[in-house]
Each structure stands twice: as C-alpha cells, then as structure tokens.
Structure 1
Amino acid sequence: MGRRDELLRFWQHIITAYCADQTTLPPFLGLSRNEFSDLITQLHKIGFSLNGHPCSSQILDQYTAKQHLFGDLIQLREDEIAQLSQLLTESINKDSFYANLAVRVMSCACMGSSHLWSDLGLPERPVLSEMIRYYFPALHGKNVHNMRWKRFFYKQLCESGGDYVCRAPSCEECSSYSECYTVTD
C-alpha cells in the first residue's frame, strides 16, 4: 500500500470525522500541530479538500486554544497512552508512511469510551481491523479470537504484567486478579 492509499483508506475518514467533531480525539488528533498540518497538506496533495471545514488552515489557531483545555486531561492519562504506544510500536510496519502517526492517534483514541473504530471516526470495525493489520501486523495476528480491538490492547497490556490496572474483558483472565480479589479456601 502506498502513501496515497494509506491516506485514502484510513486518514481521510479520521480527518473527516474529526473535522465534524465525530471522534473522541484530542486537538490535532493527539499529534503536534506540525504533524497534523503535514497530514492535512498530504491530503490536499491527493485532492482531498477541507474547504469550509473547521480543520482548514485559517481555523487551526482555534484548535491551539482548545488544546490547552484538553492538555490536562491527556496529561492525566499520558502514562496509559505511553504504554499503548509502546505496545503498538513493538508491532509496527516499518514500511508504512504513517505508522508512527497511527501509533499516537490510535493510543489517544483508546482514551475514548466507545468502540475504537468509532472513537477514531472510522466508518466501521472492518476498516479498523484493516488499519491494524496494515500498521501493526504482528499485533493483528495475535487477536485470533477477533476480540474487540480496544479490549484486546488492554488485555495485552494486562498480560505484559507492568504497573497497569487491567481493563481486560474478564477479571478471571487478568494477570492482576489476585491483587483485586482475595482468594479464600
């Protein structure tokens, strides 16, 4: 898949939903202003227009102001975002153009309370699965039971053992089970 294909298959959906305020992503998708602007520029180069959208270049300054409001919220969960980013990075497709952006955006989207595909602004779960298969192939291969992606990511973090409070879908599966429940005979 080439750069243009990545933009059209994944990023066009994310940006469109973000500009319509249909994601749970923080300002600039959780990216730096420059990374976000570069992504918008790349979309413009392939003919994707944001004219009239709140993401157009003349309105980007408003997002900088909003970023201060969301900054504290993101800061509170930055350790969690870092752990998710590390999990994704360990499985990254080094041949993709936007994999590093996908790591940050997907990690930030995991902070939302809906399904990951919805929090990202993708049209449906199969597009998210395709995105994960492309950007994080080894991680995609581990989800042999087709578990929901956000749950799967947290289950992976839980199984890795670190200082993470597990949000696994079943407490009995969690490696921290004994820390949460006292087992009596």
Structure 2
Amino acid sequence: MNTEFSAGKFWTPIIQAYLDGHTALPSYMGLEPEGFSLVCHYFQITPPAAFSHQHPQRLLLSDLAGLRQSERQDLITLLNQYRNPEDSFSSQMTTVLSFACLGTQHLWHDIGMPERPLLTQLFGFYYPELRAMNNRNMRWKRFLYRQLCTTGGDYVCRSPSCETCSSFAECFEVEESASQHTSASQHQGMM
C-alpha cells in the first residue's frame, strides 16, 4: 500500500476545507504553525498568499477549544491508544481530530470531509482497532464519546443499552452511496 497516497486521500480534503473556511477547526487546524506548514508541504498544498490563520472565526474556535482542553486531552488519549504509529502524520491527525470533535455538527463535516464514508476510511487507516470496534456503524463523534463514557470519563451516556435509547436512529447509519448520503446529510440536524 502506498502510504503517502493513502494519507493524502484524507489530508487533502481536510486542508482544503480548512483553507476554504469549511471546517470547525481553529487556527492552523489546531497544529503548531510549523506542523501545519509541514503537512501542507508534504501533501503539496500551498495556502493562498492572502490566507490568514487569524480569521475571527478561527480565533474564536481556538478560544473555545481552550475552554475544553480537558475534554480534548481525553480524546487525544483515547485516539493515541489506538493510533497506527507507522504513519508519519498519525500524531498530527490525532490533534486535528480532537479539535474537530469539539464542533457542533457531524465529525465528517466538522473536520472538512466531503462525506462520512471517507471519515470511516480515515479511521481504518489511522485507528484500525477503533474502526473494528465500531462494527455497528455508529456515527464517529458519538462513538468516540461513548468510548470515553465507558472508560469512566465524566461524559454522560444517555442509555445503558443502544437498543433502548431513543436516539438510536440518530447514532447508527446504514452506509449509502455518496450522492444519496451527501444529499440526505444536508437536511439532517447536528451531530
């Protein structure tokens, strides 16, 4: 498997969505400026000359993320527990994902993916054990927070059993074709 091509399949849409202002990511996608530059250089993406990481929306997202640092650290710890260390950018992906989880919409949308199936592939590439654990196709953000809940975190799990939960249909999704999914997801609510 060509790792560079596989990783670029995920990084390219995320970086481009960030540059276009279509993510819930803070300045530099949550990375250090040098880390952001390295990722862009490696995947051959050059930000426009007029691009500014200091856009008010990105700065606000940075400030809000600072208020949820403990939660983000819990997400990093969870993701690192299952991270594939063989990819040279897996640590950076963990950082970016942890910030995207703080957004208010579906994770695939908050991180800048064009569709949910690509996010599922990302988890298979960077976090293969987590991907395998999500064998019922639970929406990724809910899945991650459910993992935090079951490991004794301070996160509220609304139901002891998914089958008895009133939000069952919101959490689990049958994979659809990309065009059906994209169209349907535009009409869905948050998370």
TM-score bracket, shorter-length normalisation: 0.7 to 0.9
Paired residue for 1:148? 139
Structure showing greater Rg: 1
CA distance in 1, matches of 2:13, 2:94: 16
Structure 1 runs not aligned, ≥5 long: 175-185
Structure 2 runs not aligned, ≥5 long: 163-191
Residues 1:29 and 2:29 are matched in the alignment: yes
How much does 1:80 deviate?
0.7
How much does 1:125 deviate?
0.8
CA distance in 1, matches of 2:23, 2:120: 17
The letter of the residue matching 2:117 is: P
Q: TM-score, normalised by structure 1?
A: 0.79
Q: Deviations over 1:36-57 (max 9, x none)?
A: 011111122xxx4x4xxxx33x
How much does 1:139 deviate?
1.1
Paired residue for 1:89? 80
1:159 to 135, 144, 150: 150
- What count of residue pairs does the alignment treat as equivalent? 161
Conserved? CA contact 1:24–1:119, under 8 Å = yes
How much does 1:64 deviate?
4.5
Residues 1:110 and 2:98 are matched in the alignment: no
Percentage of identical aligned residues: 35
Q: Deviations over 1:59-118 (max 9, x none)?
A: 46x315756544321110111110001000000111112110110000100001111111
Structure 1 segment 22-101 matched on structure 2, within 5 A: 22-44=22-44, 48=45, 50=46, 55-56=47-48, 58-59=49-50, 62-64=52-54, 66=56, 68-101=59-92
Conserved? CA contact 1:3–1:97, under 8 Å = no
The letter of the residue matching 2:25 is: L
Paired residue for 1:181? none
Paired residue for 1:18? 18
How much does 1:25 deviate?
0.7
The letter of the residue matching 1:42 is: Y
Q: TM-score, normalised by structure 2?
A: 0.77
CA distance in 2, matches of 1:3, 1:71: 30
Residue 84 of structure 2: SS of its match in structure 1? Answer: coil
The letter of the residue matching 1:172 is: P
CA distance in 1, matches of 2:118, 2:59: 31
The letter of the residue matching 1:12 is: T
Taking only aligned residues, the RMSD between alpha carbons, in angstroms, comes to 2.0
Conserved? CA contact 1:81–1:108, under 8 Å = yes
Residues 1:6 and 2:6 are matched in the alignment: yes
Residue 53 of structure 2: SS of its match in structure 1? Answer: helix
The letter of the residue matching 2:53 is: Y
Paired residue for 1:172? 160
